[in-house]
Amino acid sequence: MNERLAWAYLSRVVEGPSRPLQALLSAGRCAEEIAHGVRTRAGWVGPLLRETEARHGWDRAAEDLETAERLGARLIARGDDEWPAEEFDSAFGFAATGISEHLRTYQSDAVAPHALWVRGHALAPLLARSVAIVGTRALSGYGKAATEQVVSELASQKWTIVSGGAVGVDAVAHRAALVTGTSTVVVAACGLDRAYPKENAELFGTIASHPKGGAIVSEYPPGTTPQRHRFLTRNRLVAALSQGTVVVEAAWRSGALNTLSWAEGLGRVSMAVPGPVTSTNSLGCHRRIRDGRAQLVTGGADIRALLEAVGAVDPDGQYELAFAPDEVQVLSRNELRIFDALPPSGEMPTEQLARAAGMTIPLCVTILVDLNRRGVVRRVGNAWERVEH
């Protein structure tokens, strides 16, 4: 059995994540050795014997690789150029430290996959700058608009959008990435020969062939059906393959919050978009923000400020540029006294204006001359009037 067949065999008979398999790989055992040990029931594979007891005879490696080839997909594993080693080492290395308290209920799953099936562009380059965008399936008009805005702002800086391909926020995020011309990655909870949900089949095909870069990724071999536990397991990969996870709309018990918990447990940045206080769709987001378990973000600039190098992004500065004050909003208190004393339309003589503003004539004239220079007021003979903007 060559290396590729060995990885395909292990992908089929060991449903990840598998801590015993990872331990053998870390100890220097190669895929061919481990596959042979599992097939022959060798004692040295240890706990992996129990994990593969029901499936060790299920050798469909060649068939799975052929199916993948027909789909235009491939199998990748540790050592391959496109294997996201940096992302996995960082995320699951952090989990192994035990620093995070958020993995205690599913610590056994906090290990990297041993193989991935990929359809589309090379995976590792897509993930150099990546953000996970997840959320409710039953999104509101607000959630759709917020998702599209966030993705559009991230796309302008060429961030890859990672999500789970579900209906709702996931699908909106993927589509917004396609429209704005940035890369997007779908992490599936079933084999790549199955489109789930079916209504997104065309979307998945478009992503895989996206000229700006896109990919469909699965930990599961062809033929694997989507089941509830696989979605929860899949969520750890969504978080691990991104520098941070953003939740846009999540109800009190939304499954999207599981991905956010994985982001916390894997040392990634957890973020949430606030919603209307009248909407139950945002209760989960608000709770995470309130409890200090997610950073409040309102757009791409906020997200980038949390993920990029310190000082690289100044969200407040960008808001100041986007929403610059008008000529009146920047006036000082004394300048406002004079401006407000002028009628909304028509002229007012200098002496009358000084009296209305409660100022001396010299001070009033000094301020009026400066306001005239700045285009806020206009002199008309011995009188003054506002300049409309």
Residues 171-201 have pLDDT tens digits of 999 999 999 999 999 999 999 999 999 999 9
Per-residue pLDDT of 132-146, as tens digits, reads 999 999 999 999 999
Domain spans of the chain?
1-59, 117-322, 333-386
- What's the pLDDT score for residue 106? 61
Residue 224, classed as helix, strand or coil, is: coil
334 touches 366 (CB < 8 A): no
- What's the pLDDT score for residue 328? 84
- Please give the CATH topology (third level) of the domain spanning 117-322: Rossmann fold (3.40.50)
- What's the pLDDT score for residue 158? 94
- What's the pLDDT score for residue 321? 54
- What's the pLDDT score for residue 255? 86
User: In this structure, which long-range contacts are made by residues 284-289, counting pairs with CB atoms below 8 Å and at least 24 apart in sequence?
Assistant: 284/247, 284/250, 284/251, 284/252, 284/253, 284/254, 284/256, 284/257, 285/247, 285/248, 285/249, 285/250, 287/252, 288/247, 288/257, 288/260
Helix H, strand E, coil C: the string for 137-189 is CCCCHHHHHHHHHHHHHHHCCCCEEEECCCCCHHHHHHHHHHHHCCCEEEEEC
Q: Strands 214-218 and 115-120: what pairing? A: antiparallel
Q: Residue 271: pLDDT band by 50, 70, 90 thresholds? A: very high
For residue 187, what are the β-bridge partners?
A: 217
Per-residue pLDDT of 282-315, as tens digits, reads 999 999 999 999 999 999 999 999 999 655 555 5
Residue 1, classed as helix, strand or coil, is: coil
Dmax of the chain from CA atoms?
104
Please give the Cα distance from 350 to 353 (Å, whole number).
Answer: 5
- What's the pLDDT score for residue 319? 61
Which element (helix H / strand E) includes 214? strand 214-218
- What's the pLDDT score for residue 329? 84
Query: Does residue 354 surpass a pLDDT of 90?
Result: yes
Lowest mean pLDDT among 128-132, 166-170, 281-285, 306-310: 306-310
Q: Residue 99: pLDDT band by 50, 70, 90 thresholds? A: confident
CATH 3.40.50.970 is right for the domain spanning 333-386: no
- What's the pLDDT score for residue 98? 80
Query: Does residue 25 surpass a pLDDT of 60?
Result: yes
Output the average pLDDT for the chain.
92
